[in-house]
Amino acid sequence: MKRILFTIILIICLGEAFSVFAQQDPQFSQYMFNTLYLNPAFAGVEGRTRFQLIHRSQWTAYQASFDDGTAPITQNFSLNSPILRLRSGVGVHIVRDQLGPLSNLEAQAAYAYQFPVKGGKLSMGIRAGLYSQTINFDTYRAINKDQDEILRDRIGRESQIRPDLSLGIFYRGEKFYGGVSVNHLVRSEFNFGTDKLKNPLNNHIYVTAGYDYDLTYQIVLTPSVLLKSDFNTYSFEASTVATYNQKLWGGLSFRQGDALTALLGVHLTKDNSLRIGYAFDYIIKAQPVKKPTSNEILLSYTLPVPVPTVKSVQRTPRFRH
């Protein structure tokens, strides 16, 4: 399994060695903690129920040159839970991505079935849901609105809703994990009534892999990689996170052609059920047209594992001899 996943990564890297990935889906610096969003097969793999919320402010404090436009802002809520009796898991995620006059909203549900394999489990998942796009035409400024075919008769907001579908496979072993997923399989298209605004959701493939290395008895080092491609271009992220005593973590990450990231986090409760994470991006490319930093906050809560109860034996003296 490890060889297969690494071979897939190598093939894509060699095939797209001189390309740069054009971002369509929102990005998250703490991708290593947000696998359900990338791959539906992750649903239930952890064996515990987890609620998670991520807020990302990209190019913090950026302002447009002539109006009140702001930088991209993204929120992601997810729920991930196993169904142990059925050897499967379910997941739900809701993502809101604000990109100036354009906003995307998706609500999707995932189901995954898990197969026990030597040294771990192999999960296969499917995700389906709705994807909505909204354009606020009032925020556009035409040089000559009377001659602009798109803006001339459009006022306010317009929205369209389309179906969406994803498939994935994920492996989790004692130390190694890896997965491959393909999103937007139905290639839904948004046009808002004119071919000039045609905007299809392109197929995207995500490849993730990581390894937990016991550096010492209390420190675990986890290098990981995320490869993203729309089958024409590609980009990758690589990170290393060190976890101390299963309580604190910190690390560094690199996003190709974009940013360097510092990662910090802590479990706030004794049973590690509540955790908070923070990612600070420093932009290393095209700073003049952006702001140099981005910020991302993660908050998650994991339900305690239920302790099986043993029914007590009620003894009757009458039948004791």
Distance CA 169, CA 75 (A): 25
* pLDDT at 253 (0 to 100): 97
- Cα 237 versus chain centre, distance: 13
Cross-strand partners of 297: 55, 278
Distance CA 3, CA 9 (A): 10
Domains (ranges, CATH) in the chain? 2-305 (2.40.160.40)
- Range with lowest mean pLDDT among 140-154, 177-191, 224-238, 284-298: 140-154
Per the CB < 8 A criterion, the answer to whether 229 and 205 are in contact is: yes
Contact 52, 294 (CB under 8 A): no
pLDDT of residue 4: 41
Is the pLDDT at 315 greater than 60? The verdict is: no
- Output DSSP code: residue 194: S
Distance CA 174, CA 239 (A): 20
**Beta bridge partners of residue 165, listed in sequence order:** 128
Mean pLDDT, the chain, rounded, equals: 85
Q: Which helix (H) or strand (E) holds 37?
A: helix 35-38
Cβ neighbour number for residue 166 with a 10 Å cutoff: 24
Output the pLDDT for position 52: 97
User: What sign does the dihedral 264-100-20-42 (CA atoms) show?
Assistant: positive
Q: Which amino acid is at 157?
A: R
The model's pLDDT over 227-278, given as tens digits with 9 standing for 90+, comes to 999 888 889 999 999 999 999 999 999 999 889 999 999 999 999 999 999 9
How confident is the model over 119-167, as pLDDT tens digits?
Answer: 899 999 999 999 999 988 777 776 666 666 677 677 778 889 999 999 9
Q: How confident is the model at residue 196 (pLDDT cuts 50, 70, 90)?
A: confident
Q: Please name every residue paired with 208 in a beta bridge, in sequence order, or none if there are none.
A: 179, 226
